[in-house]
A and B are shown apart, each in its own frame.
Chain A
Amino acid sequence: GENVEQHPSTLSVQEGDSAVIKCTYSDSASNYFPWYKQELGKGPQLIIDIRSNVGEKKDQRIAVTLNKTAKHFSLHITETQPEDSAVYFCAASQDNNDMRFGAGTRLTVKP
């Protein structure tokens, strides 16, 4: 089955710097890649997603890139702010009922 690996497990950046989180997946049939942000005491919230027919997607300060050949995708956050501090999860899915999650990255943005 699908296996998703996520790096790094923790990331600390200075406010205003960029943050990059990387994920790799094993099953070339995966075609949907969402990213979730989980704040303390809350459930994961979808922040951006990308499908396999697209190489890059942006939404304000966040962007996701997908390299299908290498089977990896990345989350980029620019101009980080303290409120970006959270745990981020990547996921990969090939159908509606089989979404596999990475282990998570704890991002800390220092003011």
Chain B
Amino acid sequence: DVKVTQSSRYLVKRTGEKVFLECVQDMDHENMFWYRQDPGLGLRLIYFSYDVKMKEKGDIPEGYSVSREKKERFSLILESASTNQTSMYLCASSWGTGGNQPQHFGDGTRLSIL
């Protein structure tokens, strides 16, 4: 089974802090994704990566950056956290070849910015 592991289940940070959310997958997937999940809005894509050191903006990249130095690890960075970034963050991964492939999700990080 695919395992996507997010390093923290709950995180509380202060406004203005630099915040790192980490995600690791064990299936050698090419693609990795960061979403944010808010009630009534579904999942919105922040950034994705289709290869090491490659990244593409999603629908809501403002205030975020990402890093993919190794194939199995994809980090989301909040450069200067703000209260409107309080949310559930979900990481996912998928195969990069063979047409559309399902995404496999971690259990999420619930981030609170005070």
* A interface residues, Cβ below 8 angstroms from B: 4, 6, 9, 31-32, 34, 36, 41-46, 49, 51, 89, 93-97, 99, 101-104
Contact = CB atoms under 8 A, between A and B. Distances in A.
A93 B42 contact: no
Interface string B88-114: 001010111001111111111000000
Interface residues of B, number: 25
Given A44-B90, A95-B100, A96-B94, 10 more contacts: A32-B100, A34-B102, A41-B107, A42-B108, A43-B92, A96-B31, A97-B48, A97-B50, A99-B103, A104-B40
Contact of A96 (B42, B43, B100, B107): B100
Given A89-B42, A101-B42, A103-B40, A43 B100 contact: no
A43 B90 contact: yes
Contacts of B107: 41-43
A4 B59 CA distance: 14
B97 to A, nearest CB: 8
B12 interface: no
Interface in B21-53: 31, 40-43, 45, 48, 50
A32 B101 CA distance: 8
B31 to A, nearest CB: 6
A97 B45 CA distance: 10
A93 B100 CA distance: 7
Nearest to B100: A32
Contact of A43 (B56, B94, B106): B106
Contacts of A101: 42-43
B4 interface: yes
Contacts of A97: 31, 48, 50, 56
